[in-house]
Amino acid sequence: MAHLLIFGLGYTAGRIAEAMRARGWRVAATGSAGDIAFADRDAVEAALAEATHILSSVPPARTGGDPVLDTYGTALSGKALFYLSSTGVYGDRAGAWVDEATPTIAQSGEGRRNARAEADLAWLALGARVFRLPGIYGPGRSALDRVRAGQARRIDLPDQVFSRVHVDDIASGVVAALEQDAPAGAYNLGDDWPCSGNEVTEHACRLLGLPLPPLESLEEANLSEMARGFYMENRRVANGKAKRVLGWQPKYPTYVEGLAALL
C-alpha cells in the first residue's frame, strides 16, 4: 500500500492528506495537526522507513537551510519526493509571465538572498516534484473573510498583478502528481487569471453588498515589511506545464468561481 509521510500538516497539506486518505493511501504527518512530532527522531525515522512518498510543506529557515533536508535528508533516499514551494522564487518580473523555465532568484543571483528559492533548488536537486504556489485562498482564508472582518485593503498600484490559486486546486494538482508518479521537476499551480488584488477585493465587496475599502498609497497603508515586500513584486504565473503533464485543470479557473463557491 502506498504510504505518504507529510512534513508540516498545515492548511494546504491538510487538504492533500484528506484527499489521499479518501483514495485509500496511508498518511502520517508531522506538524501541529499531525500525529508525529518533528523533533521525535525515532518516530519520524520509523515513519520514513515505511513511507513510499514524502511531501514537505515546511518553509525554509529565515537564515537559510531547509529543516527537513537538514534533519532527515539522508533518510529520503529512494523515496518519491514532493515539495510545496512558492512562486516568490521568481522574484519581481514587472508584470511579465513566468513559467517553470524562468530562472529563479537563486539561479540568476538577482536581488537579496532568498531562502525559499534556495530550498526550491535543493529539493529539485534531489529529484523532487516541486509545486510553486502563488497566493493561496480557500475556506476561512479569502477576500470574503477579509472584507467581512474589515481587514481588506486596496493599494493604489495600478500596474501590480499577481496570481492566486484555490487550496482545493492545489490539492488536485498534487494528488494527480502523486497518483501518476509524475516526472521530477517544477510545476506552477496557479489559476488562469492573474490580476490585481484590488480587483478581487472589489468583487468580494459586491458579492457581500459591503462598501469598498478606501484606496491607499503604499506609504499610507503602513504595511508590515512582509506585506510591503509582497506588493513590490509583480508577475503573472503560467500554469501550462501542470495542465500538459499532470492533466490538471483548476476547478476554479478564476477568483470569480472560487469566491462564488466559498460564498
pLDDT band at 63 (very low <50, low <70, confident <90, very high): confident
Q: Please choose, from the candidates 45, 55, 50, the residue with its C-alpha nearest in 3D space to the C-alpha of residue 7.
A: 55
Residue 110: its pLDDT value, please? 66
Cα-flanking dihedrals φ and ψ of residue 3, to 5°?
-130, 120
Query: pTM of this prediction?
Result: 0.96
Q: What is the mean pLDDT of the chain?
A: 95
The yes-or-no verdict on residue 48 having pLDDT over 90 is: yes
* pLDDT tens digits along 163-211: 999 999 999 999 999 999 999 999 999 999 999 999 999 999 999 999 9
* pLDDT tens digits along 228-257: 878 889 999 999 999 999 999 999 999 999
d(CA 238, CA 81): 23
Amino acid, single-letter form, for residue 201? T
The yes-or-no verdict on residue 89 having pLDDT over 60 is: yes
Mean pLDDT computed over 71-89: 96
Sequence spans of domains, the chain: 3-262
Asked if 202 and 176 touch (Cβ cutoff 8 Å), the reply is: no
Q: Rounded to whole angstroms, what are the CA distances from 179 to 10, 48, 251?
A: 21, 19, 18
Residue 244: its pLDDT value, please? 98
Say whether 138 sits in a helix, a strand or coil.
strand
Asked if 174 and 81 touch (Cβ cutoff 8 Å), the reply is: no
Strands (E), the chain: 3-7, 26-29, 53-56, 80-86, 97-98, 129-133, 135-137, 154-155, 164-166, 185-188, 215-216, 236-237
What CATH number belongs to 3-262?
3.40.50.720
Residue 125: its pLDDT value, please? 97
* pLDDT tens digits along 96-126: 999 999 999 988 776 556 899 999 999 999 9
d(CA 177, CA 171): 10
Instruction: Note the Cα 203 to chain centre separation in Å.
Output: 23
Residue 113: its pLDDT value, please? 67
Residue showing cell 537564515? 63
